[in-house]
Chains A and B, each alone.
Chain A
Amino acid sequence: MSSQSRYEYDENSETWPYFVLTTILVPLIPITISKISNLISNKSKKLESNKFKSTKNWFNPYNIKEIKNFKSLSERSKLFSKQNIFISIGWILILVLYLKISSIIIIPSESHFDPWKILEISESATEKVIKSAYRKLSLKYHPDKVDTSSMSQKDIDAVDSAYVLINKAYKALTDETVRENFLKYGNPDGPNEIKHGIALPKFLIDGPTSPFLVLIYVLLIAVILPLFVRSWWNGVKSMTKNGIHVDTADHFMKVMINANPMKLLLVDDIIKFISNSQEYFDIDISLTPNKVESLLMSYINREPSNEETLRLKVVAITPKLIAAFIEIAAGFKNTEYCLKLVDTHRCIIQALNIDKDAKHNQFKQILQLPGVDASKVDFKQNMITLGKLLKKPTIDPSKFLGTDEKITKNILNYAKSIPLIEPLECSFKVPSENFIPPNSSANINLKFIIKSPLHKSKPEIKDLSKIVIETQFKEEESMENMRDPMKVVEKQNIFELDNLPPFFPDEEYIQNNCGWIAFLVAQRDNKIIEIPKQIIRAESKNLKLTQEEFAKSDCEVSTFKIQLQAPSPPNVGEYQFRLIIRNLVYFGSDVDIPLVMKVEDKPVEIPGKDLYEIEDPDEDSIAGAMATIRGDPVKKIEFENEYESSDDEGDDEEEEELWTDIDTDTEVEEDAVDLDENQK
């Protein structure tokens, strides 16, 4: 049997569609599944937030037309994303291939061998039936019995091969070895010749198109592949892991290195730093740092621009850059810069310049509300917080804001939906310990409630419902929670805003970044000591509660944790920290929590020491030696008794025996005995 292999092209065009089908399906199916699951989750999210209120019924910013354009443009570009195009083209191809494949009639090759069919019997036929069928057929096709005189050569050959086949079939069913071959390889002759095929249709290889194929191969290997690798590598090289351009990151680093602690930092300064980002240049080549700065400044001052579309593009990517800058500034441990960056982030989202003048800074919580016009607000009133405006206004809010009744009502409703954070308990924890040992891996455990500015202070912990206390306030001390303390946090819902600020064009960004950011700072030098972490999961139901329900407490408690990267200090003592929590979207939803880490070194108590009533180990045993090292009690061997007995007169021999037991050197022993005898 020849094992020589030869290549065969796909002559009948029956293999290549399968090949192409597989190649397309391998990436297409996972992508489609992820896309569909995304769509489903988005849909359920949208259904859930059907209550989502837009301010557009009662307030529209001056640039609403451009914002709408921007949104529809980004929707459209989302629809025509590379992924979507790939999926749709992919499935169309699959459909075409399916039609193609279904039209192929597979011609069974000659090697296909079915002895029962040849003998025209059923597969369950007995040996007797097989034999009789064979006889009948062999009589019919035997070359000697068939009259070949009137036949053409082709017909004669056909008869010959039919006879051979009948013989083979018979043997396959009766002869041991042939039968084995048939069962193993599906062929009575043993293993088939191995065929290697190339799944390309014949018309591509033979004929006039073949140079094209060669060209495609050459292009693919020599040009497209290197280009692809290069562009991928450049992409990797030019972006940091925060998703910003390396040049931008480099610029932010330089800003931080040259940070002057004596200089008062303003939003204007931050915008100046941000304006130098490479990303703006990638949007439009005309965007020089000075131009970006002036666009951003005019945007936060709410001044109309004649390049509104371009300005919105610039504005839309700015928060992402600020977020990346925050991480870099936190790497430099600079609290002042980080907090000002968060402020700038909010300024961009709310289109509000808090450092424009003292009034803007003082009244920022009021001025961030949509529909509030700084030129109409009565700044003489002492109402600078959302709480005061909603709970105890000094004058009628519509007079204070200078708006009509209906709009005022909407503004107040909007203000009510702004989430505030109220800490209930915050401490350092080491899983499965009730104190902080030195050099341990601790985490910060913050229990908080989300509340509306309408709510007064916070509910007493004892007023919380029993279920909330047991499941949300206290944590189940299960093995699972101890192993992964973050699990409790991950189980919570992602926090979502009810109302979106109307000025910022990229709604999706706000929905994904509407939480808080937490910085852990050492009180000693006011430096950031942990990577800042976002609070993205929290129970938002409390926002809907009335004051009575809130005080009586139908509140839900949320959890936030930071796993500390550094171990707790090696020395016992108290260490002072501050957890700074800032909202990324709204002003007035900030908290500073002082925190003390009390590092203690308590001796480890071994529970159930006498549980099995194991005696203390003997002093001279290995266990005893180990116990002595540990400082555990050991059972003293009472040598005294033995020596006491040796105190008696004439017991030299006994003493000798005691020592000879220990001494293993026989020669010395013998010498000693000799000496002894000599003495005697």
Chain B
Amino acid sequence: MTAVLPIKYDPTSKTISLEESVPLSSTKDFQIEVSQINTLYSDFIKTNSELPPPPTKEAFTQNLSMMVKKMHESAVLLMRQKSFEEAAKKFDIALGLASARSKFESFQATLPELMICLIGRCDAYTNAGFFVEALEDAEVLILLGSTIPDNHLRRGICKLNLGDFVTAKSDFERGLAFNSKHPILLKLYDICKKLIDEENGDV
């Protein structure tokens, strides 16, 4: 049995789209897939070859890396000047640049770039007091590198500041599982335990 997908191809914009007769509410996930195909296809057209280039180190666009690096550096500078909100914006731009890379380039090289930008943005948000935004970044960071204690520290700090002490404690414990002597983690872990006791009316 073959089912025909309710999509159509537009030759001028070279994209596919859902047919208008389909109700939007029922095809949320499908729309994501359609947009993913469109992104991949437009990247493919840009390569101007019959096959997309292999994801080697040589095919990695260095220019973009330079731009990301510069943006990152200026953001770090802003962090040093303690203008965290500005820094967060710069990190955001850097992150946008890093993720704008053609999808056929080496993922292995893209990932560290993304992570560095994300780490910067997460820390900038934390310092600026935007804990909900910082938490989102920290969650992504944990997904990308779950064995890095600092990522758990980031998430724990956000949770702590959002008042979820029990989850924060569990985050610090998870971070300590990978480095039991991490000084900041240990310190925050103690603070967190005290806060939990206080919250429970034990102290």
Contacts and interface: CB of A to CB of B under 8 A. Distances in A.
Contacts of B12: none
Contact of B177 (A362, A453, A576): A576
Contacts of A526: 142, 146, 174
Interface in A377-395: 384-385, 387-393
A414 B102 CA distance: 60
A385 B199 contact: yes
Interface string B183-203: 000000000000001011110
Contacts of B66: none
Contacts of B178: 523, 576
A594 B140 contact: no
A525 interface: yes
Given A524-B147, A594-B177, A384 B199 contact: yes
A265 to B, nearest CB: 12
B163 interface: yes
A262 interface: yes
B174 A523 contact: yes
A524 B147 CA distance: 6
Given A524-B147, A594-B176, A262 B201 contact: no
A578 B170 contact: yes
B146 A457 contact: no
A592 interface: yes
B169 interface: yes
B200 A388 contact: yes
Given A578-B173, A592-B169, A594-B174, A387 B146 contact: no
A521 to B, nearest CB: 9
A28 to B, nearest CB: 53
Contacts of A109: none
B29 interface: yes
B177 A391 contact: no
Interface in B74-116: none
Contacts of A453: 200
A590 interface: yes
Contacts of B143: 261-262
Contact of A456 (B142, B177, B202): B202
Interface in A355-385: 362, 384-385
B166 interface: yes
A524 B146 contact: yes
Interface string B109-130: 0000000000000000000000
B32 to A, nearest CB: 9
Given A576-B178, A592-B169, A594-B177, A390 B29 contact: no
A362 B29 CA distance: 31
Interface string B160-186: 000100100110011011100000000
Contacts of A594: 173-174, 176-177
Nearest to B152: A523
Contacts of B163: 362, 384
Q: Interface majority SS on B: helix, strand, loop or mixed? A: helix
A578 B174 contact: yes
B146 A391 contact: no
A388 B163 CA distance: 15
A373 B163 CA distance: 23
Nearest to A457: B202
A449 to B, nearest CB: 15
Interface residues of B, number: 20
Q: Which of B142, B163, B177 has the most CB of A within 10 A?
A: B177
Contacts of B29: 258
The winner among A384, A392, A393, A523 for most chain B CB atoms within 10 A is A523
Contacts of A391: 200-202
A526 B146 CA distance: 8
B144 to A, nearest CB: 11
Contacts of A385: 199-201
Contacts of B169: 592
Interface string B43-81: 000000000000000000000000000000000000000
Contacts of A578: 170, 173-174, 177
A254 to B, nearest CB: 12
A592 B170 contact: yes
Contacts of A387: 199-202
Nearest to A455: B202
Nearest to B140: A262
Interface in B129-159: 140, 142-143, 146-147
Given A258-B29, A362-B163, A523 B177 contact: yes
Interface string A251-290: 0000000100110000000000000000000000000000
Interface in A552-611: 576, 578, 590, 592, 594, 596
Interface string A615-629: 000000000000000
A578 B201 CA distance: 26
B202 A525 contact: no
A410 to B, nearest CB: 20
Nearest to A525: B146
B166 A457 contact: no
A15 to B, nearest CB: 62
A261 B178 CA distance: 22
A578 B202 CA distance: 25
A592 B202 contact: no
Contacts of A596: 177
Interface string A519-542: 000011110000000000000000
A388 B166 contact: no
Contacts of A523: 174, 177-178
Given A576-B178, A578-B174, A590 B166 contact: yes
B128 to A, nearest CB: 20
Nearest to B173: A594
Contacts of A362: 163
A456 B203 CA distance: 9
Contacts of B197: 457
A391 B177 CA distance: 33
Contacts of B146: 524-526
A589 B44 CA distance: 54
Most B CB contacts (10 A, CB to CB) among A262, A526, A594, A596 go to A594
A456 B201 CA distance: 8
B138 to A, nearest CB: 13
B177 A388 contact: no
Nearest to A590: B166
A262 B147 CA distance: 18
Contacts of B199: 384-385, 387-388
15 contacts: A385-B200, A385-B201, A387-B202, A388-B200, A391-B200, A391-B201, A392-B201, A523-B174, A526-B146, A576-B177, A576-B178, A578-B173, A592-B166, A592-B169, A596-B177
Please list the 9 inter-chain residue pairs (A to B) with the smallest Cβ-Cβ separation, ordered nearest first: A387-B200, A391-B201, A392-B201, A576-B177, A388-B201, A592-B170, A523-B177, A594-B173, A387-B201
Given A388-B201, A592-B173, 14 more contacts: A261-B143, A384-B163, A385-B201, A387-B201, A387-B202, A388-B200, A457-B197, A523-B177, A523-B178, A524-B146, A524-B147, A592-B169, A594-B174, A596-B177
